[in-house]
Structure 1
Amino acid sequence: MLSPRLQRARKDYVSANKHHVSYTGHRTAARSAKELLCQMKAQARLRTVDGSEQPFSSLGWVRLVPSLPLEKLHQSAFKTCAVVTSAGAILRSGLGREIDNHDAVLRFNAAPTEGYERDVGNKTTIRIINSQILTNPRHRFNSSSIYKNVTLVAWDPAPYTVNLHQWYASPDYNLFGPYTERRKLQPDQPFYILHPSYVWQLWDVVQGNTQETSSPTLPRPAS
């Protein structure tokens, strides 16, 4: 359905294969929602950078990262959760109260709540942010209130082979410096970096559940 110009742009984008993706898994589009959830739990185990692997172990990250793993944080307290979209479609939804009634509320990047409480609520438990948020001054990562008093989970795509040395030397956006600085200044705030192997495992699950080859990259919304 794309115009010829957009078809060419998409083809060029896919061909670039910036992260050297080589997906060879089986594809199907017949799984139910429950089957897909079970597959995701089995195939993509939540994992964060824990400092035990090189080059992070040599840099002393074992003492830098939170001692309590993300998957165990507030584990017993969360019975229900709301994952709040950053898209404009949520405006005029009137879902704010329903969202805030959940035990955990997940938001993304720089999506605001102030002024939009009726539609998006004002409770935030976990904010998932891409590496642009940490590095782009316009997001005011060190001063904005939306990144305070919440659990932060950052991510940045590594090569598909998950070469951590290569990732550390050349990330998409260098989140490592801002992460280290914030952990030292605010050691009590739970702040994690998703392990790139987990990010690509999720991508593989998506590929395995569609017949169409998706772009060999990862989306990077900044709002």
Structure 2
Amino acid sequence: MKMRLMSAFLFFFLFVIVSGSISYIYLIWTNYWLRISSLEMTNRMNKPRHVLDRVNHEKSHRKPRYDSPRQLPVGNQPAPRPRPKYKSKEEKILPGRKLSVSELPKDKLYAHIKVYKEQIYAQLRNTVLDAGKQVQSESFPNAYNVTYSGRYGENDIKLSPREILCSAKKHLNIRTFTRENKMFKKLKLERFFPKNEFLEKRHFNSCAVVTSAGSLRNSNLGSFIDSHEVVLRFNNAPTGGEYLKDVGRKTSIRVVNSQVVAKPQFKFLESKIYSKSAVLVWDPSAYNSSTEDWYNKPDWPFFEQFFSKRLMQPEDSMYLLNPDSLWSMWNWLQSLTPVPLLPTPPSSGFLGLLLLLDHCSVLHVLEYIPSMRLTKRCHYYDTEENLGCTLGDWHPLSAEKLLALRLHTGF
């Protein structure tokens, strides 16, 4: 009897051991394949289904995206539907072909743009905050002797575009020198200046501020740019020829910094690009310095070239910005920014934007806020690569662009 009980117990024990081992191996094997399937599914989910494959990559870079006026109209105008694209036999046969951004349904396209806009906003904001922390350091350089004592913009984050525009009219003071300037009269140089301020009492229906950003390359925006009543460009940015398709040829105003005027390689006296349109020259002064101090010690020694140009071509429309205007812009920007700005003058792009802000019914600023064509390339006409050209490593560029985003009335 005892032997039977022992045998039954031993059999039951062995049965439990064997069945437990088999069950354990089965569970491990099942979890392994479940894990593999989960990873494959995650990879498929994380892979953007709407981006172009390598074959269509170049085409995607030629489509206007985030700040393209064709897709992001001003005000409440509806965005035009993308034209249906002809599909080849190969495309009809391949149901798994990936769609380009331009072929996406409008809701998915806008969702894609919204995500990109949030990413750009976060990057610009982080750059401003990091710069603010550095500026507060006692060792941070202050070459322009900036001594700002006004308020910061902690409570202005929720201002509407209209309220920001009203603030700009109230606080900005952008002026150019005329023949009535006392200092230049005293120096007997008044004949080199025009009678009236730049754009005095002028108003336009549509204006385009065309930056020199590398992301304009392969943009196909040339015809759109040339369709504006006024087109503003910067420094030595070329037009026409090989650049015609992307940036057009029309130039109404060219904003030129004093380095371009002073440095021989830019050929300010010889090149025709500085004569075909109205030219506005700017040079920064020290913060709160007098006009006399600035004239005796400009940021760049450009006055000789400037007056030579006026003497050689007196019929040209050429203006000189009062440097107080730059610090008026900087003070206004700081009053709307919650952290200290870089103590350096604003960029040419910001000057161009604010210069036309009160003179145009519709104002398009192209690639100032980087679109989804974002690239490391600084300019569309050269090969230099530097993200500082987009985010700003000298001008308070990121803060300027955040303010421009707040002024944007499109999507």
Question: 2: distance between equivalents of 1:207 and 1:163?
Answer: 21
- In the alignment, is the contact (CA less than 8 A) between 1:25 and 1:208 conserved in 2? yes
Question: 2: distance between equivalents of 1:12 and 1:120?
Answer: 41
Is 1:89 the counterpart of 2:215? The answer is yes
Question: 1: distance between equivalents of 2:211 and 2:290?
Answer: 31
TM-score by length of 1: 0.87
Relative to structure 1, is the Cα distance of residues 139 and 211 closer, same or farther in structure 2, using a 3 angstrom cutoff?
Answer: same
* Residue identity opposite 2:237 in structure 1: A
Q: Which of 269, 277, 285 pairs up with 1:158?
A: 285
Is 1:98 the counterpart of 2:224? The answer is yes
Point out where structure 1 has 5 or more consecutive residues left out of the alignment. none
Question: 2: distance between equivalents of 1:117 and 1:49?
Answer: 34
Instruction: Number of aligned residue pairs: give it.
Output: 218
Relative to structure 1, is the Cα distance of residues 35 and 169 closer, same or farther in structure 2, using a 3 angstrom cutoff?
Answer: same
> 1:68-118 deviations in whole A, cap 9, x for unaligned?
321227x25x22100001110111211111111111000011111132111
Point out where structure 2 has 5 or more consecutive residues left out of the alignment. 1-125, 349-377, 380-411
Match of residue 214 from structure 1: 341
Match of residue 317 from structure 2: 190
Q: Which has the higher contact order (CA 8 A, sep 6+)?
A: 1
Match of residue 151 from structure 2: 26
Match of residue 187 from structure 2: 59
Relative to structure 1, is the Cα distance of residues 14 and 177 closer, same or farther in structure 2, using a 3 angstrom cutoff?
Answer: farther
Question: 2: distance between equivalents of 1:193 and 1:21?
Answer: 22
Aligned-pair CA distance for 1:214: 1.2
Relative to structure 1, is the Cα distance of residues 53 and 16 closer, same or farther in structure 2, using a 3 angstrom cutoff?
Answer: farther
- In the alignment, is the contact (CA less than 8 A) between 1:79 and 1:103 conserved in 2? yes
Deviating more after overlay: 89-98 vs 42-51: 42-51
Q: Secondary structure at the match of 2:254?
A: strand
Match of residue 108 from structure 1: 234
- In the alignment, is the contact (CA less than 8 A) between 2:132 and 2:339 conserved in 1? no
Is 1:15 the counterpart of 2:128? The answer is no
Q: Which of 144, 148, 157 pairs up with 2:271?
A: 144
Q: Which of 175, 178, 185 pairs up with 1:47?
A: 175
Bigger proportion of residues as helix? 2
Relative to structure 1, is the Cα distance of residues 219 and 147 closer, same or farther in structure 2, using a 3 angstrom cutoff?
Answer: same
Q: Secondary structure at the match of 2:218?
A: coil
Match of residue 367 from structure 2: none
- In the alignment, is the contact (CA less than 8 A) between 2:135 and 2:340 conserved in 1? no
Q: Which of 244, 250, 259 pairs up with 1:132?
A: 259
Q: Which of 196, 199, 219 pairs up with 2:326?
A: 199
Aligned-pair CA distance for 1:198: 1.1
Q: Secondary structure at the match of 1:180?
A: helix
Asked which structure has the greater CA Rg, the reply is: 2
Question: 2: distance between equivalents of 1:34 and 1:112?
Answer: 34
* Residue identity opposite 2:276 in structure 1: N
RMSD: 2.6
- In the alignment, is the contact (CA less than 8 A) between 1:106 and 1:125 conserved in 2? yes
* Residue identity opposite 1:36 in structure 2: I
> 1:153-182 deviations in whole A, cap 9, x for unaligned?
000001111311111111111221111111
